[in-house]
Structure 1
């Protein structure tokens, strides 16, 4: 799901609250607290530019969606082992569908790529990752779902803001209510844009006023490319590549230029020389014993779509396979032990105590966690210092 990038705030007045009484009779019978919660959002919606007619029509008869809270807990990209997630996300069937889409939409993708600087394969891979090329968009009523999430999670303004953004989309004459379908979290259409992202990034392929990301694939492809372009995609720079490390590799740093890694004997997985320009980060998702990747600045742009390494790496490798590349050359280690989220949180907490980690204690290992583990490994002379969290790292931290 697209990450929220902007928020709106508004403090309502007593006069505006009084005006809400007239709407109460139009609401269907249901949860009174839910209905009153929605009514109380009118000042905020009005300040954002929502008309009273749009607001009244949206909340009339609206009832909570009981399935939203339970669905919100399911996020495989954060809880499933990366190699398992990758096997599912970059399946032979999905690669085949991606290549078929490349043939079908090749002309449009060429023009979109020329305008945005984003390669066609990357655009298609994002489409494939989000909705399997339109096969799994989600059928939730976004107005109802986001209203429910806003009500259930009143501690998070994100859902209130996204609900109001959905009303702004609804207010556009060319966007009927029945179009606003999507996932449990409000992600819509083929690109799975949340409402604020739709307002900011959705564009039509041919310049029309309405970007139909539900029923016009060319609009979805143009919108995905526009998001990546605005998020900082650098043309002519790959997302990264699989690499091969020499046996003598020192693991002194996980960061450096491609040239610096090349000077240490790192080569592409097929044995060819690395590119000379650009910054890179060494990513070892199963430690030194598994596949190795050098990530460019564009990899972090892909994480703006979904802040998960499983997601971003899968998208990247799916793009390569759609473009005709072979599969991974590196092998996943046998018998690898996967840490639970609680164990990862413990590692983060212990690293934070020692001054190595400054991020959030959430049991999710991103680059900040890998850098902290790498620094601890160097300090304790643990070899290889690959930044990979293992039961041994947990045990050493617990013993100190």
Structure 2
């Protein structure tokens, strides 16, 4: 438009119209091949026809299927890229926890706890699950719902799962089963198709449930007749609580304890806490264990030089949400700090000076301004940020480390 405005005044309206049409045609020619390639996928159309037959046999009505797939004529390449992406950096322990257990997350969690206290009290009474755990899961899964507004990562669940079912051999079975469940959710009439948005793998809503898990655990907490984990925070948190409850959450107990360990080999497996104490395992800050007969397992996420924990049953229940020791530990640690606990007594070992979230945002912003970074400005130092740091370090001729450190921030401020 700027070019049109700078034309000589003698040009007539028809000249403007002609030039505008010409520019529009050029724009279409530039994007046209991509659009055409995306739309012209006879293999996908053939798959869709076959899957439609399968869905109808499973009880999905033609109207539901056609409504769900309206406008979906090709797989989503972004989904396939995410499914096959192997990060250049295997995230070290410190990076995983630094990006999730943050001052920002703790502050937001405390604010949300105050804001939602009546609902959290009701959910705890109904499920027995500590509200701090639910807030930590909410933070981990969707940054307290902020991710739901990110159209880059929140896509049509129907198209994402159809993409996996059609084009990803490793996830074909998963994609098919979850797609059928998503169609069943739509057919129930309680959730509109415009709400069926989620991650590349079909995880949906504030607390990120795949369709079959939604069917198994979804709760209508606010009483509006819908189990709406997309728009109702009470529904989403109650759904997370229901998953934990149905998988054996022990009400009134914690997930684990930070401990110190003796400088000798310790047994693997589960022992009573009293037995761990006899082996020299102690709770940090001189605290006592409230129930010595509880059974616990020793976990060392970063080896003997990092923090150590005795994990109780609720730790393993959290893993039913996401089968990862790191995930369950991060949920527990964040939950404790939302509840007022201090940071870990023994920090993660890092080969650099740590940045806080605001400093990481500044670093990402400066890297983007200098053309080294094209990711999101989110305060999380993931693989994309570390690759950008490496490029910057190479450009200024320093040793390549790729760490989001105080040192590299100071360097980029002065270059």
Calculate the TM-score normalised by the size of structure 2: 0.70
What is aligned with 1:58?
68
Identify the residue that residue 35 of structure 1 maps to in structure 2: 45
1:98 counterpart = 2:112: no
1:150 deviation in Å? 0.8
The within-5 A match list for 1:116-265 is 116-137=127-148, 138-155=153-170, 156-247=172-263, 249-265=264-280
Tell me the residue number matched to 1:107.
Answer: 118
Residues 243 and 117 (structure 1), Cα distance of their counterparts in 2 relative to 1, 3 Å cut: same
RMSD of aligned residue pairs (Cα, Å) = 2.1
**Are residues 1:46 and 2:56 paired?**
yes
Q: Kindly indicate whether the alpha-carbon contact (under 8 Å) linking 1:244 and 1:271 is maintained by their aligned counterparts in 2.
A: no
Structure-2 change in CA distance of 1:251 and 1:194 (3 Å):
same
Distance 2:236 2:117 in 1: 14
- Tell me which moved more, 272-281 or 249-258: 249-258
Indicate whether 1:273 and 2:288 are aligned.
yes
| 1:72 counterpart SS class | helix
Q: Is the 8 A contact 1:143 1:166 kept in 2?
A: yes
Q: Distance in 1 between matches of 2:125 and 2:80?
A: 42
Q: Which deviations, in whole Å up to 9, do the C-alpha atoms of 1:250-280 show, x marking residues without a partner?
A: 4133421112112223221112222313211
Distance 1:146 1:334, change over 3 A: closer
Higher mean C-alpha displacement, 259-268 vs 158-167? 259-268
1:82-97 correspondence to structure 2 within 5 Å = 82-97=93-108
Kindly state the Cα deviation for residue 127 of structure 1 after the two structures are TM-superposed: 0.5
Counterparts of 1:216 and 1:74, CA distance in 2: 32
Task: Report which stretch shifted further, 229-238 or 92-101.
Answer: 229-238
Deviations 1:183-215 (A, max 9, x none): 111111101111111111111113443111111
Quote the offset at 1:244 in angstroms. Answer: 1.3
Query: C-alpha deviations, 1:72-128, integer Å up to 9, x for none?
Result: 24588x931122110110111111000000000011101101110110000111101
Instruction: Count how many residue pairs are aligned between Structure 1 and Structure 2.
Output: 307
TM-score, scaled to structure 1: 0.73
1:29/1:293 CA distance change after superposition, 3 Å: closer
What does residue 331 of structure 2 align with?
A: 315
Change in Cα spacing, 1:54 to 1:104, as seen in structure 2 (3 Å) is: same
Q: 1:124 & 1:211 partners in 2: Cα distance?
A: 19
CA contact (8 A) 2:94 2:350 kept: no
Question: Do the aligned partners of residues 160 and 213 (structure 1) sit closer, same or farther apart at CA in structure 2, a change above 3 Å counting?
Answer: same
| Inter-partner Cα distance in structure 1 for 2:245 and 2:228 | 19
**Cα distance change, pair 42–232 in 1 and its aligned pair in 2 (3 A):** same
CA displacement at 1:243 relative to structure 2: 0.6
Compared CA separation, residues 327 and 32, structure 1 to 2 (3 A): same
Q: Which runs of 5+ in 2 are unaligned?
A: 1-37, 353-415
Q: Deviations over 1:117-148 (max 9, x none)?
A: 11000011110100010001342011111111
Q: Distance in 2 between matches of 1:301 and 1:44?
A: 35
